[in-house]
Amino acid sequence: MWEVTLDDTQALALGAGVLGTGGGGNTYIGRIWLERELRLSGKGCRIVDADELADDALAVGIGSMGAPTVGVEKLDAREEYLPIVRALGQHVGKPIDALVIGEIGGANSLIPLIAGLQLGLPVVDGDGMGRAFPELQMDNFSITGISTSPFGLGDSHGNTVIFQRVDSPFRAEQYGRALTIEMGGSAALAMPTMTGRQMKASLIRGTLSLTRRLGHALLDARRRSADPAEVVARLANGRVLFRGKITDVRRETVRGFARGHLKIAGFGESGELMEIVFQNEHLIAWHNGDVVCTVPDLVSILNLDDGEPIGTEMLRYGLRVAVIGMPAPRELKTPAALRLVGPAAFGYDVPFVPMPGHLL
Amino acid sequence: MWEVTLDDTQALALGAGVLGTGGGGNTYIGRIWLERELRLSGKGCRIVDADELADDALAVGIGSMGAPTVGVEKLDAREEYLPIVRALGQHVGKPIDALVIGEIGGANSLIPLIAGLQLGLPVVDGDGMGRAFPELQMDNFSITGISTSPFGLGDSHGNTVIFQRVDSPFRAEQYGRALTIEMGGSAALAMPTMTGRQMKASLIRGTLSLTRRLGHALLDARRRSADPAEVVARLANGRVLFRGKITDVRRETVRGFARGHLKIAGFGESGELMEIVFQNEHLIAWHNGDVVCTVPDLVSILNLDDGEPIGTEMLRYGLRVAVIGMPAPRELKTPAALRLVGPAAFGYDVPFVPMPGHLL
């Protein structure tokens, strides 16, 4: 067991930005929320290893659903998780014992910690995605067949909805997305509800620790004036794919998603070009027309100067950036997983050529 | 206590068509479902008086949510109500003792009887609207302040959603509508969950009996070759507003509602004209430009020849019709009720000039 304290929030926000691959919600806002909650509670957030939870304990995944572009504009108190987790516990007739990070990327790394502090519950070190993904059926809990329902969705007015039974993770995505849009474009999500045994079998372990390590390494690189992109790439078993200046960003919010397309021009005179498409998260990177990295491998964009990760909602013309490619965790590279999170699942007729190695 | 048997289904469908004021779902389809269920169960559906239920008993309103135009196209088995009512009972930790008709109009008069047969529960004689209305906040349960939540919504695949807490009936309408649209345009609704005491204080009583009386009177008029429109108008304390031929129907499905506008030309040479607007249900009737009947009073359209009520989804050019105006039940004419179901609530700047008397 360890604790997240005010000493970790800056590092966690940075690391969450890296693993967010452009999505998962703005980490600056998430960090402010987490710091506020740590100050209010006067103690740290307990982080436990998956094996510390009993097999018959009850765990629930926590995250925010919706377009990152919207999350930035909704600066509410993030207290929606209390009624949802309580309602879920009431619904299944058993209190929830621990929270699980739904996706370790962007603000969604930090929100479960906030909920843990509010509810007095520990948070498990690991998550369902090992990165961020835009849709509900794209986590390893769904991939390995853990039932999506019951799950809870709530808005910032305390309205709480329990999806008692849904017949597939895709249905959860479809119905949950429609309600999220109605809730103003972002909503609080508690999903899935699972036993300790299920969680241990499907969790992508240790990703919160990795988030913290990445963040502290970035901070250390800043202090040492080292190259932050190289530091991050090395720690995550990846490589720097490109350096250049953003010359074009197209972005629209479609059916609750931030979709877009990005061009980055190399610094030299040689006309080097990187293009990236995103749906909340970066999906595919092309270098001079050749695919160099695709989902489920991670594509992250850092500010070239200070290594600050840049979310898709913050991309803008003129930013000088480094693009990093990192291999996905091994759980996302099984045939079953690739059907749900490979390039074809996002509508791209591009083969998945994995980067060497694994995220952890 | 009395029973609905196969001898009543034709009459109930006719009466429900009259009180449906154009909406509430196609009664022909509803009647087929009900007859199928009566045959399957081999016994009648128990109808109880509100006072037969104990004050601390638990009752839940039942109906279908969505555009009537869609309901006609979804000929599924209507078995969504079982899992929803069971899930609601499980959620509140007490089994449901009786079903209440959400709106006594169109197929929504008959669907609670089907659910009652499936669940082995009695149905209370009365309903929440005394007619049909297009939106959830327009029933006397909401008008008198009974909490909308918890309520259940389900689709024909057995997907079941419990709205554990919603902060207003308007929110229930907003979120429920969004999910209903996603569920294919119609969904099974169980709302509100209330005690026997609450139900007795807010129910519009005796409307299922009225439905049956209206239907049997229509059938009797057919046999006697009497004027069906006059028979219906007399029994419901209303009057025949117009007779003529439909010359124009404009109809569109907007945000899950069937909205439209209707013109009926008189039979003489004098250019008499009736115009009617609808949102699932008929809202306002103008005779030669003068308002003659508005919500919450009832505007129903019958086929001139056989007295068959015509739902908004069946309106078409050339039909020869009688238009009947009937006074609303008194519960819908309080100042609190008129704020929710008067012409202004539907966006019309028209005063409510009540017809004399009350529906019952």
- ipTM of this complex prediction, to 2 decimal places: 0.86
Closest chain A residue to B153 measured between Cα atoms?
A163
Q: What is the pLDDT of residue B78?
A: 61
Option in A90, A152, A175 nearest B182 (CB): A175
Task: With CB atoms and an 8 Å threshold, state whether B181 touches A181.
Answer: no
Chain A to chain B, count of Cβ pairs less than 8 Å apart?
A: 73
**CA A152 – CA A301 distance, rounded (Å):** 32
Assigned token pair, B88: 């609601």
Option in A160, A174, A175 nearest B165 (CB): A160
CA distances to B58, B161, B339 from B347, rounded to whole Å, are: 36, 31, 11
For A223-254, give one letter per residue: b (16+ CB within 10 A) or e: eeeebbbebbbebbebbbbbbbebeebeeebe
**CA A211 – CA A130 distance, rounded (Å):** 10
Cα of B112 to nearest chain A Cα, Å: 22
Q: State pLDDT tens for residues A39-81.
A: 999 999 999 999 999 999 999 999 999 866 555 445 555 678 9
Tell me which chain B residues have a C-beta less than 8 angstroms from the C-beta of A182: 174-175, 178
> Which burial class, exposed, middle or buried, applies to A328 when counting CB atoms under 10 A from its CB (0-12, 13-18, 19+)?
buried
Task: With CB atoms and an 8 Å threshold, state whether B175 touches A160.
Answer: no
Q: What is the pLDDT of residue B118?
A: 93
Task: With CB atoms and an 8 Å threshold, state whether B91 touches A175.
Answer: no
Closest chain B residue to A89 measured between Cα atoms?
B91
CA distances to A81, A82, A96 from A93, rounded to whole Å, are: 18, 16, 10
Task: With CB atoms and an 8 Å threshold, state whether B175 touches A164.
Answer: no
Q: What is the pLDDT of residue A318?
A: 95
Q: What is the pLDDT of residue A89?
A: 94
Average pLDDT, chain B: 93
Chain A interface, Cβ < 8 Å to B: 83, 87, 90-91, 152, 157-167, 171, 174-175, 178-179, 181-183
Model confidence at B68, in pLDDT bands (50, 70, 90)?
Answer: low
Tell me which chain B residues have a C-beta less than 8 angstroms from the C-beta of A152: 164
Q: What is the pLDDT of residue B350?
A: 95
Q: What tens-digit pLDDT sequence spans chain A (360 residues)?
A: 899 999 999 999 999 999 999 988 888 888 998 999 999 999 999 999 999 999 999 999 999 998 665 554 455 556 789 999 999 999 999 999 999 999 999 999 999 999 999 999 999 999 999 999 999 999 999 999 999 999 999 998 899 999 999 999 999 999 999 999 999 888 999 999 999 999 999 999 999 999 999 999 999 999 999 999 999 999 999 999 999 999 999 988 887 778 899 999 999 888 999 999 999 899 999 999 999 999 999 999 999 989 999 998 889 999 999 999 999 999 999 999 999 999 999 999 999 999 999 999
Closest chain A residue to B163 measured between Cα atoms?
A161
Assigned token pair, B343: 């012409």
Q: State pLDDT tens for residues A113-126.
A: 999 999 999 999 99
Task: With CB atoms and an 8 Å threshold, state whether B161 touches A158.
Answer: no
Cα of A161 to nearest chain B Cα, Å: 4
Q: State pLDDT tens for residues B30-45.
A: 899 899 999 999 999 9
Option in B91, B162, B167 nearest A159 (CB): B167
State residue B163 phi and psi, 5-degree precision.
Answer: -85, 100
Task: With CB atoms and an 8 Å threshold, state whether B166 touches A159.
Answer: yes
Label residue B280 left, alpha or beta by phi (over 0 means left) and psi (-120 to 50 means alpha).
left
Task: With CB atoms and an 8 Å threshold, state whether A164 touches B165.
Answer: no
Cα of A279 to nearest chain B Cα, Å: 21
**CA B113 – CA B121 distance, rounded (Å):** 9
Residue B205 has pLDDT above 70, yes or no: yes
Q: What mean pLDDT is predicted for residues B346-350?
A: 94
Task: With CB atoms and an 8 Å threshold, state whether A167 touches B157.
Answer: yes
Task: With CB atoms and an 8 Å threshold, state whether A159 touches B179.
Answer: no
Task: With CB atoms and an 8 Å threshold, state whether A161 touches B167.
Answer: no
Task: With CB atoms and an 8 Å threshold, state whether A158 touches B165.
Answer: yes
**CA B360 – CA B329 distance, rounded (Å):** 6
State residue B168 phi and psi, 5-degree precision.
Answer: -165, 160
Option in B91, B162, B179 nearest A178 (CB): B179
Q: What is the pLDDT of residue A76?
A: 55
Option in B91, B158, B174 nearest A182 (CB): B174
Model confidence at B25, in pLDDT bands (50, 70, 90)?
Answer: confident
Closest chain B residue to A166 measured between Cα atoms?
B159
User: B interface mutation test: which of A182, A191, A255 has the most B CBs within 10 A?
Assistant: A182
Cα of B175 to nearest chain A Cα, Å: 6
Task: With CB atoms and an 8 Å threshold, state whether A159 touches B174.
Answer: no
Q: What is the pLDDT of residue B187?
A: 92
Option in A159, A165, A179 nearest B158 (CB): A165
Q: State pLDDT tens for residues B134-168.
A: 999 999 999 999 999 999 999 988 999 999 999 99
Task: With CB atoms and an 8 Å threshold, state whether B159 touches A167.
Answer: yes
**CA B69 – CA B254 distance, rounded (Å):** 11
Closest chain A residue to B171 measured between Cα atoms?
A159
Cα of A177 to nearest chain B Cα, Å: 10
Model confidence at B344, in pLDDT bands (50, 70, 90)?
Answer: very high
User: A interface mutation test: which of B88, B160, B163, B164 has the most A CBs within 10 A?
Assistant: B164
User: B interface mutation test: which of A162, A170, A183 has the most B CBs within 10 A?
Assistant: A162
Q: What is the pLDDT of residue B74?
A: 53
Q: What mean pLDDT is predicted for residues B75-95?
A: 84
CA distances to A28, A39, A64, A188 from A74, rounded to whole Å, are: 13, 21, 12, 12
Chain B interface, Cβ < 8 Å to A: 83, 87, 90-91, 152, 157-167, 171, 174-175, 178-179, 181-183
Closest chain B residue to A148 measured between Cα atoms?
B159
**Beta B204-205 vs B123-127: how paired, if at all?**
antiparallel
Q: What is the pLDDT of residue B253?
A: 81
For residue B154, give the amino acid letter: G
Residue B86 has pLDDT above 90, yes or no: yes
Output the DSSP codes for A63-103.
EEEE-HHHHTT------THHHHHHHHHHHHTS---EEEES-
User: B interface mutation test: which of A82, A163, A165 has the most B CBs within 10 A?
Assistant: A165
Task: With CB atoms and an 8 Å threshold, state whether B165 touches A91.
Answer: no
Q: State pLDDT tens for residues B110-143.
A: 999 999 999 999 999 999 999 999 999 999 999 9
Cα of B39 to nearest chain A Cα, Å: 30
Domains of chain A with bracketed CATH:
2-205 (3.40.1610.10), 228-346 (2.40.390.10)
Q: State pLDDT tens for residues B187-198.
A: 999 999 999 999
Which residues are CB-contacts of B237 (< 8 A; sequence separation ≥ 6)?
A: B326, B327, B356, B357, B358, B359, B360
Which residues are CB-contacts of A322 (< 8 A; sequence separation ≥ 6)?
A: A228, A229, A240, A242, A243, A301, A302, A304
State residue A101 phi and psi, 5-degree precision.
Answer: -75, 120
